[in-house]
Amino acid sequence: MIPSDPAKLHAHFAALPGSEQIASTFAVEGLAFWLTVRDPKRVCDIGAGIGTLTAVIAKWSQAEIVAVEDDPWCLAQARLNLRGYWSTHELLRGYWLAHELLFYDKVPSSYMSFDFMILDGPQVRREDWQALEPHGLIFIEGGRRGQRAHLEAELRAMKRPFCRAQWKPADRSKGYFVYFVEPPITARLWFAAVRLREWGRDLRARLRGDTAIGKRKP
């Protein structure tokens, strides 16, 4: 069974082979929050790795899941790590009946669309972002400055307005970004307030002499 607590889920995957680059506990908690708030119908996890965030999607949503991973070893580990969650016990409880988990080495953007996408892996193509439905969300674990710059350039080229904000943990290390595409005015105001809040917290940390702002937590 998937642990029902984000911190326990992170600890479980952190003990598995290939866990050196998995998402932080803070990002796992954040993704669980956003999945609960948005209740997506189909989620694409780009850069699924060994399956950490894919497991979060399965636990905190009823969405159809498309896990994209181009590394054969990671893909094999993800299949292995997630296989045990489809137990007879959980099927009898009906929990997994709403789920469908599909594995791909590239985003199937030519024949699928998504209302929620997760970027935690390699660079993607323009057509992949075209698969994001109107008013969709993109969740990005960590900083990924280059990939975010590419994403923003592609969204602007497609004339798709967006707003973004970064959420950071108390130690001011890398947290996660959320992009809201074609956002309503309420989302724009909310994200602007978050950016102002995080800027203020970073400023206080700098005044205290903190040199780890925006860096990945060891």
CATH number reported for the structural domain that contains residue 79 in this entry: 3.40.50.150
Domain count, the chain: 2
Does 152 lie in the same domain as 97? no
Between 89 and 205, residue with greater pLDDT: 205
Q: Contacts by 140-144 with C-beta closer than 8 Å and gap 24+?
A: 140/176, 140/177, 140/178, 140/179, 141/23, 141/24, 141/27, 141/31, 141/53, 141/176, 142/23, 142/24, 142/27, 142/174, 142/176, 142/216, 143/174, 143/214, 143/216, 144/119, 144/177
- How far apart, in whole angstroms, are the C-alpha atoms of residue 116 and residue 100? 15
Q: Is position 74 within any domain?
A: yes
Residue-level pLDDT at 23: 92
Does 140 lie in the same domain as 105? no
Asked if the model's pLDDT at residue 210 lies above 80, the reply is: no
Q: Is position 67 within any domain?
A: yes
Residue-level pLDDT at 89: 34
Asked if the model's pLDDT at residue 139 lies above 50, the reply is: yes
pTM of the model: 0.88
Tell me how many degrees the CA angle 143-151-179 measures, rounded to the nearest 5: 70
List, for residues 62-97, the tens digit of each pLDDT value: 898 998 988 889 988 988 888 765 443 343 333 433
Question: Which structural domain, as residue segments, surrounds residue 141?
Answer: 136-157+164-209
Asked if the model's pLDDT at residue 120 lies above 50, the reply is: yes
